[in-house]
Structure 1
């Protein structure tokens, strides 16, 4: 219960700081870079380091990097298809979820699996 409370408090404070930073950045579309997910992840990593140690956090960190890389490939694929084919966002993003899944599975098999 204390872990959840700490994550809530740390995450809330960090999200607030990054929201202020995101509002001051021009163009404002870059404010999304400072969204909640990375800040919550950092709070979780800090608490996990205290609870489970550096080895566990190292594996979790590699998993986060692999997830971010898979999302980057997916976002690039969606963007490319939408710009080339002039398709709607929802069907394109839904169909190309397989790109994310394939990339994530490949990264897991090559880099993360022990």
Structure 2
């Protein structure tokens, strides 16, 4: 238990620091948050999956993370496009577009996994 927490802390902290440095290089500075949070969590999770369950299990998790990221990209692109083009309420657009996210995620899951 403690080894898992220590591993997550060390790997997460190291990766967050590296990606925060990378985020400082790019403009706008809002990329710093994206570069620092998600990759560190993903790498820590994959590291623990390899240690506890082996590489086959971690490979499935990695594919699932890629599918989720692609679905999120499509969702964000759609929401951004709608919000820039129309004057609809953001809550309506964001919650309605979740159907698209789910469709892309489950569609890619059926194709890839």
SS in 2 for 1:102: helix
Q: Partner of 1:101 in structure 2?
A: 102
- Distance across 2 between alignment mates of 1:65 and 1:49: 17
Q: Partner of 2:49 in structure 1?
A: 48
Q: Partner of 2:70 in structure 1?
A: 69
- Residue 28 of structure 1: CA displacement? 1.5
Equivalenced residues, count: 112
Q: Partner of 2:10 in structure 1?
A: 9
- Structure 2 residues not aligned, in runs of 5+: none
Q: Name whichever of 26-35 and 91-100 sits farther off.
A: 26-35
- Distance across 2 between alignment mates of 1:5 and 1:48: 15
After superposition, the C-alpha distances for 1:60-83 in whole angstroms (9 at most, x for unaligned) are 111111111111111111111111
- Structure 1 residues not aligned, in runs of 5+: none
Runs ≥4 residues deviating over 6 A: none
- Distance across 1 between alignment mates of 2:66 and 2:106: 13
- Residue 29 of structure 1: CA displacement? 3.0
After TM superposition, the score normalised by the length of structure 1 is 0.83
**Residues 26, 81 of structure 1: alpha-carbon distance in 2 compared, 3 angstrom cutoff:** closer
After TM superposition, the score normalised by the length of structure 2 is 0.84
